[in-house]
Each structure stands twice: as C-alpha cells, then as structure tokens.
Amino acid sequence: MSTVYYSARTEEWTVRGEERRAGISGQLVLTKQDLPHLRAVDLKAALVAHAKNYRSDESEADVSELHEDHFDADLGGGQVGFELRQGALLVSVLYFGAWPSDGEEENPLHSVSRLVAPSLDHVGASLHSVEIEDGWSGPEVLAVRLRLRIPWRGRTLDYLFAVGEDVLQLCDAFGAAEITRDSVADLVRGGCAGLLVGQAEGHWLDAKSEEYDLTSTRGKISLAQAVARFANAEEGGLIVVGAKAKKIPDGEVIREVRGIVPRHSDTRARYLRVLDHHLYPPALGIRIDLIPAEGKRALIAIDIPPQPEEQKPFLVHGAITAEGETEGAFISIVQRRGEGSIPITAPMIHSTLAAGRALLRGQTTHKGDRPRVEESD
C-alpha cells in the first residue's frame, strides 16, 4: 500500500491511509511526524500524479512546523519541503539572509553554493539550483531558494528532510559571508559541529580524532605545540578534538564528528595546566570548551584567538624530534601553514632576536637625549 497518494479522480491526498486536506494552493502539506512513515518513492509518484492532473511537470509538498495535534493545512509549511521539478524529486530549502553591501545578487548565490557543497557531497547529494526568491525578499531581507538533489531510493522522507535542515542550519550559521574561526567556534560550542563535515582543514582549523594523552610527556608537548602553531599564526586557530579528517588531493577535509570519551572530568583544567607549564609566553584569551556529543562522548574545542605580534614567537618547553623521540628539556617553535605545520627556522629566530637587541640598543643610546621638538611654520 502506498504511504502517500494523490487521486486524480477525487483530487484528494491520502497520507498514511487517511485523507489529508490540501493547502491553500492545493499542495500537499505534511507534518514532521508523518515523515518517518512515508517512502520517498511514494511521494514522488503522488507528486507526479498531481502535476499530471494539472498538465504540469511541477508540484510540491510543504512540511508544517506545527505538531500534528495542532496541524492546519491552510498555514502551509516551513523553510524545508519537497518539490517535483522536471521529473526529479528535490528537497527545497528557503534561506533568509541579508543583501550584500554591494547589491550584487550573484555574490551571495555563489557564497551559499560554495558553503553547502562539501556537506552535500559527503552524503552523495548535490545542489540542483540556487536562486533569489523575489516574492519573499524585501529591502532588508534576501531570500534564497536552494533545491537539493538527494539520493532517495529506499529512503523515507525524514532522511531527506534532515539533510535539508542541515543545509538550512549551515546557511543560518554562516550566512553568505566567509567562514571564519569565530563563526566555526560558535557553531561547535552551539552543538552543531556535525555541520563541519565536508569542510576543509586549513590555516586556522584543525581536526583531531583522539584526545591528547596528558599522562605522558609526549601528549603534553603535542598539546602545547598544537596551540603554539596557531598562536604563532596571524589569525589564531581552532582545534576540534573528536573530529576526524581525511586526506584528499588538495589537503584534508573533515569526514566525521563523533566526539571522544573524555579521560577525566576536569579536562578543561588539565589542558590549561599543561599549557601554563609548556607554553611561553602564555597565550591570551585561549578558550577550552567540553561540548556534549552522542552518548557519553564529547568534543573538546580549543579556541586560540590572534595573538599580539610583539608576543611572538610562542615557545614550547619540550620537543618531538624528527625520529619521533620526546625531548623534555628542549625548546621547540612551530607555526601553522595551510593544513600542516612548519618549524620556525634558525634565521627567523635570529632576525627576531637581532631586531629586539637593536631596539634595546637604540633605547639605551637615546636614554639621556633631550626630546626633539619639531618646529612648525
């Protein structure tokens, strides 16, 4: 028996064996409680029958935000729904953002497309189209309609709807702007780290699948070096412990965000103690959060804001040699480049020291000099 059906003879929808009153435009309106029980193949057949009855190749099914106990078809649906277009079953997402300052419509469309592409690719989906919705846009609001092509065979509608909600959440989190350390950190702390799947690691983002072992000297040095890399970088950085990255030809992308089972209940305090002992000078504004994940798992977010240039380079008390040996008495200096790390070289260290000595020598030379007074016309 079909889980959702349209009768051309009676012009009525049937959902889960019961007649369902249509929306104002005659469209099918579903509830979120319907979705786990409805097969995608049945919805497509119903939409095809509806479109054919009106000599069209388009039809749609809204999904109401109301619970089924308070359902009213006349109120229509929310921002995620389903559409039939040119014979394809699509997930429709309506995103509300802000007009770009330059007024160019192509810029936000390009930014949104680039933003959602990695997450869609991760689930084998793709972006069918993205366009401005003039009927929903206004002087202060830019409405963008995204249509997603998601593999639906053998699926129920709740799976397709969840992918659409993830895309909407991703758009709401980042908008049409560039992804930044601050926006990603807020996303992770807000419990939405799963939206990072498909995003690339880079000069300010690092994923680590396992927790640092702070019972060992090697683990402590590894943590301090990871933080120092970003402290020595221009934009700071964000380390997400409990996220797994995978190598691709152009670098690494985040493929899974499951979390880890924390070794200790006082994780944040332990991490900060290690950094206090192994990182010099102390990095300003470091934030460490333990974010609950599935079951007993959690994510550890280490947020390192940009550091003052005069504080650099940040040194690590301890080093891990090229042979993998740990030297607790050594000093190491590292910095982030792309998705990898490089050491700060001897000439770079020497130039920094020489500049500092020259500055001190200049201050000493002019200590007793009278201040110069510039003559004005």
Neighbours of 310 (CB within 10 A): 6
Considering 209-213, 354-358, 361-365, the range whose residues carry the highest mean pLDDT is: 209-213
d(CA 234, CA 312): 10
Give which of 343, 257, 339 is closest to 300, Cα–Cα: 257
Give which of 150, 206, 171 is closest to 79, Cα–Cα: 171
| Buried b or exposed e, range 46-56, using 16+ CB within 10 angstroms | bbbebbeeeee
3-class secondary structure for 18-87?
EEECCCCCCCEEEECCCHHHCEHHHHHHHHHHHHHHCCCCEEEEEEECCCHHHCCHHHCCCCEEEEEECC
Place 272 in a pLDDT band, splitting at 50, 70 and 90: very high
What does pLDDT average to over the chain?
85
pLDDT of res. 22? 92
Residue with tokens 């995978």: 246
pLDDT of res. 370? 46
Place 182 in a pLDDT band, splitting at 50, 70 and 90: confident
Question: What is the C-alpha end-to-end distance of the chain, expressed in Å?
Answer: 96
**pLDDT greater than 70 at residue 205:** yes
Cα 336 from chain centroid (whole Å): 20
Q: Give pLDDT tens digits for 274-329.
A: 999 999 999 999 999 999 988 899 999 999 999 999 898 899 987 776 666 776 66
Place 348 in a pLDDT band, splitting at 50, 70 and 90: low
Higher pLDDT, 44 or 326: 44
Give the pLDDT mean for 59-64.
95
Considering 107-116, 198-207, 248-257, 286-295, the range whose residues carry the highest mean pLDDT is: 286-295
d(CA 331, CA 281): 13
| Single-letter code of the amino acid located at 322 | A
Which run of H or E residues covers position 6?
A: strand 4-7
**pLDDT greater than 70 at residue 356:** no
pLDDT of res. 123? 86
Higher pLDDT, 160 or 137: 160
The verdict on pTM exceeding 0.85 is: no
pLDDT of res. 185? 87
pLDDT of res. 341? 45
Q: Give pLDDT tens digits for 102-124.
A: 556 667 788 788 778 877 887 89
Higher pLDDT, 77 or 324: 77
Place 338 in a pLDDT band, splitting at 50, 70 and 90: very low
CA distances (Å), origin 125, targets 116, 150, 198, 258: 10, 5, 12, 21
d(CA 353, CA 357): 6
**pLDDT greater than 50 at residue 373:** no
State the chain's maximal CA–CA distance in angstroms. Answer: 101
CA distances (Å), origin 164, targets 117, 126, 204, 225: 13, 11, 28, 39
Strands in 4-7's sheet, in edge-to-edge order, are: 4-7, 12-15, 18-20
The CA dihedral of 60, 64, 65, 70, to the nearest 10 degrees, is: 180
